[in-house]
Amino acid sequence: MFGILGGSGLTSFAELEIDRREVVRTPWGEPSGPVTIGRIGGVPVAFLPRHGHGHTIPPHAINYRANLHALRTIGVEGVIAVASVGGVREDMQPGVIALPDQMLDYTWGRDSTYFDGPEHPVTHIDFTLPYDPALRAHMLAIARKVGHPLIDGGCYACMQGPRLETAAEINRVERDGADVVGMTLMPEAALARELELPYAALAVVVNHAAGRGDSKLAISTADIVRTLEVAMNNVRALIVSFVSETSKSPSA
């Protein structure tokens, strides 16, 4: 069963035939809400919006440990994370969807490991490739097979939020190698690695980052909302194709 972590603009999943909603208790506290469990084309899928069903939890306050632990507890074997981002690189224009392959982490103060406390041995996970290469390759292959446009690769810079960045901060992360900027994939990706859950992300560009493109002076919230509506329709279609095509594979 795949787990889908929804971000801004994806707090519900209309294509999911709902079987039940499950409240999952974890040693790390409460997840962002009940996990919706259902089927896409007959294939079991679990859906959890990381900001809560009413989009009320800001990025720095998300209980990432509880969210990932809850998904694993109910039997999720791989995670597709959806995240709205600002485009830093020139081709990361509003409306495009990217499948990032690298990460920069600028967050602070977030609970970022399960191996914390006197009862847990210090554990250093390998994070050379922060997204699961096999899952990424599979998603890319299916996107190309069914004709969904998807940019292969890119470096996601995770900022603390909840405010958007200054133009100077975007200049800095661009120098560091960032192609898109968001607020939620860390420590989420690292926690998935600690749980040995394959994890890949769909980065949905909803605006030019500060100081880029039409965001020279300010970023328009109205423009973001309009872009989100169209882009998330494309994301849902891509996920439906991924789940459906994966179910046809002999190894699925």
Alpha carbon 120 to its chain centroid, in Å, reads 27
pLDDT at res. 9: 66
pLDDT at res. 171: 97
Token couple for 9: 């603009």
Say whether pLDDT at 176 is over 70.
Answer: yes
What CATH number is attached to the domain comprising 239? 3.40.50.1580
CB-CB contact of 15 with 236 (8 Å)? yes
The predicted-structure confidence for 99-122, as pLDDT tens digits, reads as follows 999 999 999 999 999 998 788 788
Distance CA 107, CA 158 (A): 7
Name 102's bridge partners.
155
Question: Cis bond leading into 162, ω under 30°?
Answer: yes
The percent of residues above 90 in pLDDT, for the chain, comes to: 73
How many domains, the chain? Answer: 1
Say whether pLDDT at 251 is over 60.
Answer: no
Hey, how many other C-beta atoms are within 10 angstroms of the C-beta on 11?
A: 19
Residue span of the structural domain in which 50 resides: 2-248
Q: Mean pLDDT, to the nearest integer, of 191-195? A: 98
Distance CA 67, CA 175 (A): 32
pLDDT at res. 252: 44
The predicted-structure confidence for 39-81, as pLDDT tens digits, reads as follows 998 899 999 999 998 889 999 999 999 999 999 999 999 999 9
The predicted-structure confidence for 117-149, as pLDDT tens digits, reads as follows 788 788 899 999 999 999 999 999 999 998 999
- What's the pLDDT band for 11 if we cut at 50, 70, 90? low
Residues contacting 164, CB < 8 A, separation 6+: 86, 210, 219
Q: Enter the pTM of the model.
A: 0.93
Say whether pLDDT at 10 is over 80.
Answer: no
